[in-house]
Structure 1
Amino acid sequence: MTSGPNEAAIDEIVARCNGDIHGALKALLLVNEQLEAELQQLHAAVAHGGLTGHGGNVLH
């Protein structure tokens, strides 16, 4: 495994969870679920032509 931005991000996530690896993994899984849901919304909007023109931001 290489060091760099990913290693720093991992260290920060674990630190924010007070060193609790289980808590850090749980937090990452929850974030991943949210991102997957947003991606599904985006795919659905594109499939239905929902991103044409300005103001078609379905994510936020």
Structure 2
Amino acid sequence: MEDPENEPEVRCVAAPVFDHTDTVTGALSVSGLTSRITAARVRVLGPAVAAGALRVSRALGSGR
């Protein structure tokens, strides 16, 4: 998760995507205004983004 450090009032939740060699090849992320992505929403989005990234990673052949 990135709090509004680089972009004021914008928060990002992200997770890495791994390829068949288990090398990071990309990322899956959700960004939005801090007024919409509250701490409570991050607790929901974090696991959802991580699960999505894991699904993509496995589709790419990752063993993670």
State the TM-score bracket (shorter-chain normalisation): 0.3 to 0.5
- The TM-score with structure 1 as length reference comes to 0.42
- The TM-score with structure 2 as length reference comes to 0.40
The structure, 1 or 2, with the larger RCO (C-alpha pairs under 8 Å, 6+ apart) is 2
Structure (1 or 2) with the greater helix fraction: 1
Structure (1 or 2) with the greater strand fraction: 2
Structure with larger Rg:
1
